[in-house]
Chain A
Amino acid sequence: MLNTNSYLEEKGHVDWFTVVMYLVFVILGWFNIYAASFDLETAVSMYDLSSRAGMQLQWIGISIIVAFALLKIDVSFYETYAFLFYIIGLGLLILTYFVAPEIKGSRSWLVLGPIRLQPAEFMKFVIALVIARIFNVHNFKLMEPKNLLIVSSLILLPVIIVIMQSETGTALVYLSLIFVLYREGLPGGLLFMGVAFIIYFVITIKFSETQLGMLSLGEIITIGLIITFTAGLVRNYLKRKDTPIIIISIGALVAAISYFLYNINSSLDIGLMAIIALVAVSLYIIFLSLRFRKKKYIYILLFIAGSFVFVESSEHVFMDVMQPHQQMRIKSTLGMEQDLQGSGYHVGQSKIAIGSGGMFGKGYLNGTQTKLKYVPEQDTDFIFCTIGEEWGFIGSLVTLLLFTIFILRLLYLAERQTSAFGRVYGYGVISIFLFHLMVNIGMVIGIMPVIGIPLPFFSYGGSSILAFTILLFIFLKIDKVKKKY
């Protein structure tokens, strides 16, 4: 198989547009790492190999060599050995867990003499490859229970291991591959439920401190949301026009009665009223399911029950299962508490650095906040601060736009694949980049909790840049030979 395919490859073109963008990113990243690690007292050259920028330059060099090498390797090689890579990757992750020294609270670094590698970084493209390989079977149906089980196991296994390594951020990156599954047929309802549950969680926690009767304000608002979502689901899946209106009316009626009664007697248990509304809506759905005998009503009932159980348990999970520093990060992101010493301090300083950049920034190497070490991890996770401070709103916007173009270009490339293998892998690449972008920049500008994952191509780190390069260039190679399948 290796030999039969090799002659066909020569005719395709590598997507130079993406390659150029890649080069632009790594060079911009290198400049900003120099700026972020610039020490006023010992100003060293950008090319000094012992400096952070110099080290990064070496890694960029290695990455480019690897990239060209990857373009020379047969696509069939990845297809054939995807499972083997996966097994090796899992093995390395487990090995790392046992032998890795603890660095900054996590056990994810494998130290080989002078080189330190994070196997978890390389596992990203391995998981994307193995899922692509799974889909690359004629007439593969994701929603068959067996297939669903295999795919979710392939993702969840490494997730569990990296969580044990205390690399929660990386675990979330693996989970972001759920976008791939969505593209390949995972019901939108499930994705919707995921989003809905995140919203429930945020609202429940954010408004958990006001108690109104037997429920908190957060829980009451989420019950309102559950009723609204239920109406939406009925409309979307059962194509009935009057039912959603009736459902909303039940909710509104109970709310109106509560308001009226509350004005008469302010000791009214509003929490109880909310539960009454939810029960009334549920009874109505049960009535409809008995009348029309449709399976979809049962799913909707399950959604209501699941939502309610999730809401009721999320506060418990937040308070009793999550670690205090994680609670603090979430609370400070939601603006509930000012955490001036811990992560709140970092985000505060990061916002000051970015905010002080203004429209045009302070100019290259003129950023005071990053130079004077006010922002933590400024050349790794918080590298975007340097861009914001020294290049201002314009620079930040250009960076964001470049990433958007990059993602949309990858989408275009993924969609033009002729094989499921190429497309699924492409979506894997997109999911990983998009998730990194969303979480990293979101954290730096203060709308996401502090989750330490790097900004692709910009953050300092050999494993990171090499892993992203491999992830991208395998896809470019697959894209190059697509027509030959």
Chain B
Amino acid sequence: MGNTKNNFEKRKYIIGAIAVLIVLVYSLQLFKLQILSPEYRKYADSNAFFSKTLYPSRGSIYDREGNLIVYNQPTYDVMMVVREMIEFDTLDFCNTLNIDVPTFLQLDADMRDRRKNPGYSSYTPQIFKTQLDIEEYGLLQEKLYKFPGVYIQNRTVRQYKYPNMGLILGYVAEVDKNKMAADPYYVRGDYVGKSGIELSHEEDLRGEKGVEVLLRDAHGRIQGKYKDGEMDKEPISGRDLTLSIDIELQAYGEYLMQNKIGSIIMIEPKTGEILSMVAAPTYDPSLLTGKDFSSNYLKLEQDPYKPLINRAVAGTYPPGSTFKPSQGLVFLQEGIITPETRYSCFGGYPPLGGRPKCHPHASSVSLQPSLATSCNSFFCYGLNAMISNRTKYASNLEAFEVWKDYMVDMGFGYKLGVDLPSEKRGFIPNSKYYSNVFKTDKWNGHNIISIAIGQGEVSSTPLQLANFSALIANRGYYYKPHVVKERKGAPLDTLYTIRRDSRVDRAHFELTVEGMADAVTNGTCRRINMEPHLTVCGKTGTAQNPHGADHSLFIGFAPKDDPKVAIAVIVENGGFGATNAVPIARLMLQKYLFGEILEQDKFLEQTLADRVILPFIYKQNMDRELAASKLEGDN
């Protein structure tokens, strides 16, 4: 039967070789997929693992007396799983949510639009409407059984106990693209501090997100926990913060500053804690939370008085005469003057033909009375003497650098590093700056004389002035001012606990203090004299302002011995320092140190609170409003 062998027996090797070759090629491909391509593991994980974020509660904020200021309140989002929905009474649903049918259709379309909602899937819960209030929530919860596929998700929003210090607290809002790119912690939809404490202490307040690792199938449906939650991580709640701010004092300051532009800053000199930081105008922090965030934010942003700017740290002003104590200190320390050195003044600085001008007072004066009377000429003489002193300094440049370094050590010219965002550095020029301006190194003290009286190039923030005042109160040192007094469960940044010394002797400070005490008792700021209740030291300032009326300034501290508080007040366009800044400081000191306003000052309090000092609304806004009203008229 049949032939047993044929001539093609060798072909078995070819067939065998083909089989082996196929297996070899496939093994290589498997090697490539399984050993050489680690990315497949990642693809697989992102396929199968759905990491559900567990949001921590954001830290609460208290004032220095332990009053709760910021806390979280639950809010409710309506979620829909489109696949699970069957026909239901749309009208009933709309009535429950208090929306009309076109709004319903719009919300529905927005939810399904992948351009607006890139993560849309009909299998997973999608946000339909955010932030139901408690009544809407209650109504919906009751009727939920009627609407299959509709769910309610809890979230929290910030709530504020007081309508004050919006600028210090800041606000939280959805994280933007830049922040997400810079910090991988954040993902789309996360809430993040955008300004104030909420921004500067974001990492304290936010806590640590937790995660729940779930298994997700090819349709996006959740199939259970991965390894029974072995990989899960509990969220860590945000850290509570205690502010150094006294909410009552703060509220009182905001009350006095209503309808004005400017700042009040009060610092506890021994610690650098900021007791109040009023920046006017300001806003009620509850405007920037919840449903109406967007419209309110727009209004605030378009307000011509710019209530979103914290002028206390971001406003820069010529310090005017409040700068003079720093000059006296430098001249004494450098030996340019002694406490007895006297300069004459005839209603102005004589060497420059009576400019800068001065006001009538006895002549000639030494440092202490010149601080009390705020004599311009004395400090001009002093600065010129320092810059032109060739026995001590090789050149005007070297002299000026010495001067500048003292200013920097007193906290001017650089950011102080307060724990609030958007702080400005003010400006203290260096010698190079002037060489550039004058196009020569050969300038002299007279060229730059206005900086001796806090005009010209120098500028500072209200915070720097308050800090300077604390430095004098301490007779030579300060702590970096800060608004957060305690972080629950963590020490304060050492930045705020290191004592910083100016290189000026205590004796010189004592003399300056005497000068400032004289200013209160019989000098420029007699209106703050509260003897016998309180010995106050102070210095007024009237800063010339190219845009309008002079700014009214005051710095000071009290009590004279063992000071409890240092203060700086600026009222933009408030005229002489004595007119507005001094009386406001008077009331603030009373409020803080006495806890109440003296009976005799009740009338003053009322007058100040009622006073309106607002500049003209800027011209362009006038024009815009004019155009708008015109349009209305045409219609």
Contacts and interface: CB of A to CB of B under 8 A. Distances in A.
A373 B218 contact: yes
A185 B219 CA distance: 53
B22 A352 contact: no
Interface in B22-38: 22-23, 25-27, 29-31, 33-35, 37-38
Given A185-B8, A396-B34, A419-B2, A352 B26 contact: no
A374 B11 contact: no
B263 to A, nearest CB: 59
B218 A358 contact: no
A353 B8 contact: no
A441 B12 CA distance: 23
B189 to A, nearest CB: 25
Contacts of B48: 368-369, 372, 374
Interface in A395-413: 396-397, 400-401, 403-404, 407-408, 411
B31 A374 contact: no
- Which bucket holds chain B's interface residue count? 35 or more
Interface in B273-321: none
A374 B218 contact: yes
Contacts of B27: 397, 400
B29 A446 contact: yes
Contacts of B218: 349, 372-374
B15 A182 contact: yes
B85 interface: no
A421 B2 contact: yes
B15 A411 contact: yes
Interface stretch (A130-138, A161-169, A300-308): A130-138
B25 A447 contact: yes
B30 A485 contact: no
Contacts of A40: 215, 223-224
A446 B219 CA distance: 23
Interface in A153-185: 179, 182-185
Contacts of A356: 40-41, 43-45
B223 A372 contact: yes
A138 B49 CA distance: 65
Interface string A300-336: 0000000000000000000000000000000000000
B525 to A, nearest CB: 76
Contacts of B216: 372
Contacts of B217: 372-374
A410 to B, nearest CB: 10
B30 A136 contact: no
B47 A184 contact: no
A396 B22 contact: no
B12 A374 contact: no
Given A183-B8, A185-B7, A352-B47, A441 B40 contact: no
A392 interface: yes
A355 B49 contact: no
A368 B44 contact: yes
A371 B33 CA distance: 20
B142 interface: no
A445 interface: yes
B47 A372 contact: yes
A420 B4 CA distance: 6
Most A CB within 10 A of own CB, among B4, B34, B223: B34
Given A356-B41, A408-B16, A434 B223 contact: no
Nearest to B3: A420
B35 A396 contact: no
B394 interface: no
Interface in A351-391: 351-359, 368-369, 371-374, 388-389
A352 B25 contact: no
B4 to A, nearest CB: 5
Given A368-B215, A441-B26, A388 B19 contact: no
A447 B224 CA distance: 35
- Which bucket holds chain A's interface residue count? 35 or more
Nearest to B43: A352
B391 interface: no
B1 interface: yes
Interface string A120-142: 00000000000000011111100
A270 to B, nearest CB: 32
B22 A434 contact: yes
B224 A407 contact: no
A18 to B, nearest CB: 15
Nearest to B38: A358
A438 B25 CA distance: 10
B20 interface: yes
B183 interface: no
B2 A442 contact: no
A6 interface: no
Contact of B22 (A140, A357, A419, A438): A438
A442 B29 CA distance: 9
Most A CB within 10 A of own CB, among B39, B47, B215, B219: B47
A418 interface: yes
A404 B44 contact: no
B41 A358 contact: yes
A393 interface: yes
A354 B30 contact: yes
Nearest to B225: A40
Nearest to A393: B34
B160 to A, nearest CB: 45
A396 B30 contact: yes
A355 B44 contact: yes
A417 B548 CA distance: 114
A437 interface: yes
Contact of A183 (B4, B12, B223): B12
B30 A388 contact: yes
Contacts of A57: none
Interface string B39-57: 1110111011100000000
B340 interface: no
B226 to A, nearest CB: 8
B6 interface: yes
Contacts of A388: 30, 33-34
B9 interface: yes
A41 interface: yes
B34 A354 contact: yes
Given A138-B2, A372-B215, A441-B26, A411 B12 contact: yes
Per CB-CB distance, the 8 closest pairs between chain A and chain B, nearest first, are A355-B40, A356-B44, A368-B48, A420-B2, A393-B34, A372-B217, A355-B33, A136-B2
Interface of A: 40-41, 135-140, 179, 182-185, 188, 349, 351-359, 368-369, 371-374, 388-389, 392-393, 396-397, 400-401, 403-404, 407-408, 411, 414-415, 418-421, 427, 430, 434, 437-438, 441-442, 445-447, 485
Interface of B: 1-4, 6-9, 11-12, 14-16, 18-20, 22-23, 25-27, 29-31, 33-35, 37-41, 43-45, 47-49, 215-219, 223-224
16 contacts: A185-B6, A349-B218, A354-B30, A356-B41, A371-B215, A373-B219, A396-B30, A401-B23, A404-B19, A407-B19, A419-B2, A434-B22, A438-B22, A442-B26, A445-B33, A447-B25
Given A358-B38, A434-B22, A447-B29, 15 more contacts: A40-B224, A135-B2, A138-B2, A179-B15, A183-B15, A184-B6, A185-B6, A353-B44, A354-B40, A355-B40, A356-B43, A357-B34, A372-B223, A389-B44, A445-B29
